[in-house]
Amino acid sequence: MSEKKSIEELNNRTIVGLTEKITIKSDSNKKELIARIDTGATKSSIDLTLASELKLGPVVDSRLIKSAHGTKLRPVVQVEVTICGRTLRGKFTLADRNHMKYPVLIGQNILKKGFLIDPTRRADKPGKKVDKK
């Protein structure tokens, strides 16, 4: 691949940090919040309580999700999400994330739609760069 083509590909992508301000929108509601960007997660995930509050649905599928705690079958909903000014639709698994710091996790299924990750950037700590040591 030529250097020029590499630069062109970069120009068409949106750079996100390890956490990012997002907007989740449903037919009747929307909510702004900070989401965790996770390149290790195959699928994106949203907290059950938040999904219920926003009246997300219907359930369009179910997926077996593997984690450190085992394998679980989770319902999947189609969600409209805005990240860094880009609005797109994607599938999110529903999970109990009440014990997690971030109610939404953005995984590879969304990130592969034209996002690059800058690990020194965080929306929950604006102006503070992650230590590069």
What is the pLDDT of the chain when averaged over all its residues? 89
Cβ neighbors of 18 (< 8 A, separation 6 or more) are 36, 37, 117, 119, 121, 122, 130
Q: What is the pTM of this model?
A: 0.85
Work out the pLDDT band at 1, boundaries 50, 70, 90: very low
Q: How far apart are CA 47 and CA 36, in angstroms?
A: 12
Structural domains in the chain plus CATH codes: 14-117 (2.40.70.10)
Q: Which residues pair with residue 67 across a beta bridge?
A: 70
Whether 60 and 12 have beta carbons less than 8 Å apart is answered as no
* Nearest CA-CA partner of 77 in 57, 63, 96: 57
Look at residue 7 and tell me whether its pLDDT is greater than 80: no
